[in-house]
Chain A
Amino acid sequence: MTSVRTRIAGMALFVPAIFILSVLFVYPFFRSFIGSFRVNNHWGLQNYLTVMDLYKGDILYTLAISLASLLILLIFAIILGGFLRLKQNTVLEFLFKIPLFIPFVVVGHAMRVFLAPHGTLNAVLAALGLVNLQNPPSLAFSATGIVIALTWKNLSFALLMMMGAFRSIDDSYIEASYNMGAKSLRTIVSVLMPMAKGAIAVSAVLIFTSMIGSFSIPIMLGAGNGPQMAMVDLYYQIVYQNNYGAANALGVISYLLSMGAAIYYLRMVTTHER
């Protein structure tokens, strides 16, 4: 008797979560998925062919930008997180966590100010005589600008994840490394990083997914012409072309890219875990 009741009670606890997930995620995704196969009230793959035709380069561009940002970000986060783990510095840690509370648009704007042709960075470089302001190079409005902004915006989150993982590693593993004669950098690379590889892979997947889906930074810092990131294309399809079919198809492709990354990494982590 009680077992049936507890079972029902147990299931009842799931209901709100399942409900929210269904309404806010499963149903919209399902509609997009269905919509991506509809062209003028017919079923077909026309939307995917259009997307492939128009945006094959942009999809690769999106992947390349995301991967490049992720790689740079991970290197920074691991080394910075590692040093903060080895040498406590609460002030520095706090400073690096601030971007966590800044919205994407604000980061985008700040980066425009910083990286624009007549922005802060070039002004400083010009003062040092390294840059000619008559014909200034521009980091903003280019792929580099997007990479810098995405890296900067996600650094605090990545750092938070790394610090959590590194802090759970017992001091004795670090002290053993020092004791054997290793310096900090070697200890980070040979001890902290491999011991936290599960957490690193998980945060890499999370960040990669959010980078693929990023919109405000690419639109604010990307080049006006030339390749665009997927979410910018998606926006144009909806707002200017009013082509929801193609937009849905592009959405499904982006989703599959993120999912693919997640599955690949998580499988790698679980098979290598002993």
Chain B
Amino acid sequence: MDISITGLSKSYTTRKKVLSDIDLTFQAGSFTAILGPSGCGKTTLMRCISGFLNVDQGVIRFGDQEVTHLPPQKRGTAMVFQNYALWPHMTVYENIAYGLKIRKYSKQEIEKKILAILETVEIDTQDVKKRYPSQYSGGQQQRIALARALVLEPKLLLLDEPLSNLDAKVRQRLRVEIRKIQKDLGITAVYVTHDQDEALSMADQIVLMNEGKIEQIGSPENIYKHPQSYFAAQFIGTSNSLQVEYRDGAFYIGQQLIYIPQSPPALNKMSYDLVIRSKDARVTQDRELESELLSFQGILRESLFTGSGYRHWLEVERQDIYIESEENIPEKGLCFVQIPREKYFLYSREEAI
């Protein structure tokens, strides 16, 4: 069952729209990450889908059924919250049984379902009837919360930054496991996050949002390799941006002439943003003049050892950029930055506004 959103708009006050003209489809069994900086409207969008917020305009469909104005109880979505939201006064078992009791399953069925789902999320079933959520670690609590959501066999699983409160190691592990469980159960999932690594590694489809609008929709690879806007390019990956100017028939960074094989703009003068991913550029001390490479000079200020390599801080025409590479550069001072043609992105300023 596909889930579709058409022309959705939402505003809290009359002045500013929190969401405008959202068009989206979540394919049955797919995993979609809604990615964006804080305040981009991603949580609002999720709350509209789950029914906690009324939309101003637009239609939400679960398969053939229109759910735009259904209350949250009747949508058949299940949500996993950032703070787990496990009820502290109920045992783990009671927490998971809550929704099943409302659906009037028999005691035996409830028990069977709970034991099965706990197995899926790898929580020891031994004493779940006696233990309370606070007796479990954060990662385990989120597994329990996931079990509570999954046990209802929801039409749509909604995850609202579920890993943000956990430490890095647990987060890495749960990412893989959530994805695996989602695939095994064939459930449609929507995952809200501000963490691009999470979105890139887990999702089939990424919806990149900014200021209440969809910036780009695509597969993780597509979004990473072909960012369609300045925002997309600088948000994804560890990116640097440099101001580039077109004047007198050529491109410049500050006073430095650079060669960019791009048809000149209609105007005589124009500003651009050049986006470079930290990992895609190379820093060298002797310049290789290759037409395959974009190349410019800068001053190496500092190199930091990061374990797997080095992080170089360069100043290019009074603008700072950071390049990561495996090799160390022993001498500070003049050096060159070189980037393969397909690895940098140039956006005219009009687009960025």
Contacts and interface: CB of A to CB of B under 8 A. Distances in A.
Contact of B102 (A182, A195, A197): A182
A225 B352 CA distance: 86
Given A182-B102, A274-B132, A176 B89 contact: no
A178 B72 contact: yes
B102 A176 contact: no
Given A186-B102, A274-B132, A179 B50 contact: yes
B46 to A, nearest CB: 11
Interface of A: 170, 172-173, 175-183, 186, 190-191, 194-195, 197, 274
Contact of A180 (B52, B81, B134, B152): B152
B103 interface: yes
Nearest to A182: B102
B176 interface: no
A119 B77 CA distance: 53
B79 A183 contact: no
A175 B102 CA distance: 15
Contacts of B87: 173, 176-177, 190-191, 194-195
A175 B82 CA distance: 12
A180 B52 CA distance: 13
Interface string B218-259: 000000000000000000000000000000000000000000
**What bracket does the count of chain B residues touching chain A fall in?**
20 to 34
A180 B89 contact: no
B304 interface: no
A179 B102 contact: no
Nearest to A193: B89
Given A186-B102, A194-B89, A176 B134 contact: no
A181 B79 CA distance: 11
Contacts of B147: none
20 contacts: A172-B81, A172-B83, A173-B87, A175-B81, A176-B79, A176-B85, A176-B86, A176-B87, A177-B87, A178-B73, A179-B79, A180-B99, A180-B102, A181-B99, A182-B73, A182-B98, A186-B102, A190-B98, A194-B87, A274-B134
A274 B52 CA distance: 31
B148 interface: yes
A177 B77 contact: no
Nearest to A195: B89
A197 B87 CA distance: 13
Contacts of A170: 83, 85
Given A194-B89, A195-B88, A274-B132, A180 B83 contact: no
Contacts of B148: 176, 180
A74 to B, nearest CB: 18
What are the 9 A-B residue pairs with the smallest beta carbon separation, nearest first? A180-B99, A172-B85, A176-B85, A194-B89, A181-B102, A172-B81, A178-B72, A179-B79, A181-B73
A194 B79 CA distance: 22
A183 B73 contact: yes
Given A180-B148, A190-B98, 17 more contacts: A172-B82, A175-B52, A175-B79, A175-B81, A176-B87, A176-B148, A179-B72, A179-B73, A179-B78, A180-B98, A181-B74, A181-B152, A182-B73, A182-B102, A183-B73, A191-B87, A197-B89
Interface string B100-126: 001100000000000000000000000
Contacts of B86: 176
A170 B85 CA distance: 8
Contacts of B74: 181
A14 to B, nearest CB: 36
Given A170-B83, A274-B132, A177 B88 contact: no
Nearest to B154: A179
